[in-house]
Amino acid sequence: MLYYLFEYLEKQYQLTGASVFQFITFRAALAIILSLLFSTIFGKKIILYLQKKQVGESVRDLGLDGQMEKAGTPTMGGIIIIMATLIPVLLVAKLNNIYVIMLIVTTLWMGLVGFTDDYIKVFKKDKGGLSGKFKVLGQVGLGIFVGAIMYFHPGVTMKQDISQDDIAVVQTVDGDNVKQIRPEEKSTKTTIPFVKNNEFDYSNLIAWMGEGYGKYAWLVFIPVVIFIVTAVSNGANLTDGIDGLAAGSSAIIVFALAIFAFVSGNIRFSDYLNVMFIPRLGELVVFIAAFAGALIGFLWYNTYPAQVFMGDTGSLTIGGIIAVIAVAVRKELLIPLLCGIFFAESLSVILQVSWFKYTRKKYGEGRRIFKMSPLHHHYQKSGYHESKIVTRFWIVGIFLAILSIVTLKLR
């Protein structure tokens, strides 16, 4: 809203300094400041309100040190992250941008799924929460929505092999009304990390269908998006097990995604780094900045010992947002590396459950690979303090984020 207000003031009254709102970098900086302020200042009030309503965490005794002390800690703190993200976005972002709209819907959609799960756990006293099939239904529904937008919406395009004429035209025209020499194109291409010719088109998977196969690419693309949204949101949910782990790891991931969005959305940087130029994607940096600020502000109250837990309201929302951003910037194949913490946590659960079932069937008793899954609980059982586990996981996450960013040039 502020963007449109200052745009109006500049055009009608030539207000000095109003043009600064035209710059994505300024609005991104403003968004992260606003989200930090909201999450730290109003976060405390939200925590007190949750305490007043007795929205406390119900903890099962898993034999972990200090675990039972957390019983009664307010949950549903993901509300802080959601509000601290959306309020700055509504204030400083271009709300007619399709990528921003898609992320706002994602935040509300997954926030509602997670909130319903937490509500059932807390107020209905059902520790199982929302049935797994309904969670998956919500994730699949979001995947269909995002996949359809990415594939069918005319505002989601890309441009390759940028010429010097293109760059010159963009530099000489103000605002969004950029006259392109060559038209933008719809595409289902994505990026393969560490490969020289690093672009892959999902439509190639159905080339066997013969002539005209390209128009059926959505049959492959949308299921891929559904899988990514479901996998990443569940990975974030599993990672949310000890104080500060999910929020801190996610903040590291989204900072890397902000760099990808800025580079791919900027015609000069995308040309220099020889990556696909995605028109209008740069506006996503404003959303990501607000989201990162919300995560860091939430850590003020979520680091050990946590004063509030994000609950599924936060973890499912975080995973959904990260998945959709990765798809939007065409870096979804980088997720196993960039979101390596989520991937390791999910993989530990899959391996533990699969091996337990296999050995129970073969030997008559279930055996385990880890002392406990997800992975962070294995280290807790091994005697590590949770703050040390979180810090070391953050360090690994930073390393993976740097390695992911390096793929812009390392091929």
Segment 350-360, tens digit of pLDDT: 999 999 999 99
Q: Measured at the alpha carbon of residue 41, what is the angle toward residues 37 and 47, in degrees to the nearest 5?
A: 130
In this predicted model, what pLDDT tens digit does every residue of 277-324 receive, in sequence order?
999 999 999 999 999 999 999 999 999 989 999 999 999 999 999 999
| Polymer length of the chain | 411
The pLDDT of residue 359: 94
d(CA 338, CA 254): 9
Between 249 and 60, residue with greater pLDDT? 249
Mean pLDDT over each residue of the chain, to the nearest integer: 88
Residue 163 has pLDDT above 70, yes or no: no
In this predicted model, what pLDDT tens digit does every residue of 167-200 receive, in sequence order?
545 544 445 554 444 577 888 899 988 887 778 8
The pLDDT of residue 213: 80
d(CA 106, CA 83): 13
- Domain extents in the chain: 2-57+68-406
Cβ atoms of 82 and 290 closer than 8 Å: no
d(CA 256, CA 325): 11
Residue 262 has pLDDT above 90, yes or no: yes
Q: Name, in order, each residue with C-beta under 8 angstroms of 52's C-beta and a sequence gap of 6 or more.
A: none
According to the per-residue pLDDT averaged within each range, which of 50-59, 198-207, 352-361 is highest?
Answer: 352-361
